Amino acid sequence: MEKLKQCWSSLLVLAVVVIGIGAVPITYLQSAVAKGAVCLDGSAPAYHFDKGFGSGVNNWIVHMEGGGWCTDVASCSARKNTMKGSSKFMNKDFGFSGILGGKQNTNPDFYNWNRIKVRYCDGSSFTGNVEAVNPANKLFFRGARVWRAVIDDLMAKGMKNAQNAILSGCSAGALAAILHCDTFRAILPPTARVKCVSDAGYFIHGTDISGGSYIQTYYSKVVALHGSAKSLPVSCTSKMKPELCFFPQNVVPSMRTPLFVINAAFDSWQIKNVLAPTAVDKRKEWKNCKLDLKKCTAAQLKTVQGFRDQMMRALSPVHSTPSRGLFLDSCHAHCQGGSAASWSGAKGPQVANSKISQAVGNWFYGRSAFQKIDCPSPICNPTCPAISTDE
């Protein structure tokens, strides 16, 4: 079965490259290497850039790839032999769709913008900044330098003239969009309209099934290993431990730049890793439930519902501020803006009769505000697809 999946995956990638639909070639930022802005293995960072045209020639969307984190030498060493830790293993072409899509009918507000996908190869949500490299493992923790090198390169390629700009991302990349949002605003021209979009990056400081917070311990390891503290917003780190500033609920209150949050109340990654991480599910009672909510017991569903309550409380800094946007559906999903189907498709998720693309576009251009919260149960919204994970 696994070989069959790999075969289909390879065929899909081949089809995108051969047909050329949305396939955007990779750009290796070799000039960043001299600045120490490198992937975990020391290779050059990379991105995919589809140039804007027509009315979008001075508009920019910089979207950061997701892909989790690494917390120790072993997990980071494993990553450096994959595309999540080395540009040597990255696919040379990337199909753009969803928020990065280049077709007017599926992405009407942003299709002709300069659209960039920044590849994720540092394992720290673009926050790492450790100068020393241990010769024993040869790991480079330089995510923050990678982010800045890419932004500087894009500025030189025309983003310095931006009229409109969005910093966005999926999952770990969406967290990066929140953490770097105000810095991005400060770098861009003061006359530009600049906003940020987080797709499945609102990781909550949640209580897990053991009553503890495994995710806080996990993030503390990321921050310590990658030296992330000095790259996190000072408005947060001046008030609390740096690992707590990996949680958007602690960063958003002091953010100055408008932010739109796209998230599932029953986020599939967070149900698996924040609510019921394997490390605390000693008897594997949640093994089936966390992958498919239909397989949960009545007691487990009550706990899952309690997770939504935690999510709602964590989102209070978002829906308490008019300039911020919120699309919170009740789907069991993770990253919903990366495909045309979920971004704007006829069968994509809707909240208050609005698709994600409509909500984000109207909010960005100031046509109408959007802060909508879906019905409360994981089976209440018929527009929710099967489990969706774009990245």
**Amino acid occupying residue 264:** A
Which residues does 382 contact at the CB level (< 8 Å), separation at least 6?
none
Query: Would you name the residues annotated as active-site residues?
Result: 171, 267, 334
Report d(CA 62, CA 53) in Å as an integer. Answer: 16
What's the N-to-C CA distance of the chain in angstroms?
21
Hey, what are 230's tokens? 């000095």
Report d(CA 351, CA 246) in Å as an integer. Answer: 27
Longest CA–CA separation in the chain, Å: 58
Which residues does 134 contact at the CB level (< 8 Å), separation at least 6?
73
**Amino acid occupying residue 184:** F
Query: What does DSSP assign to residue 334?
Result: B
Other CB atoms within 10 Å distance of the CB of residue 77:
16
Report d(CA 62, CA 165) in Å as an integer. Answer: 8
Report d(CA 183, CA 326) in Å as an integer. Answer: 22
Other CB atoms within 10 Å distance of the CB of residue 220:
16
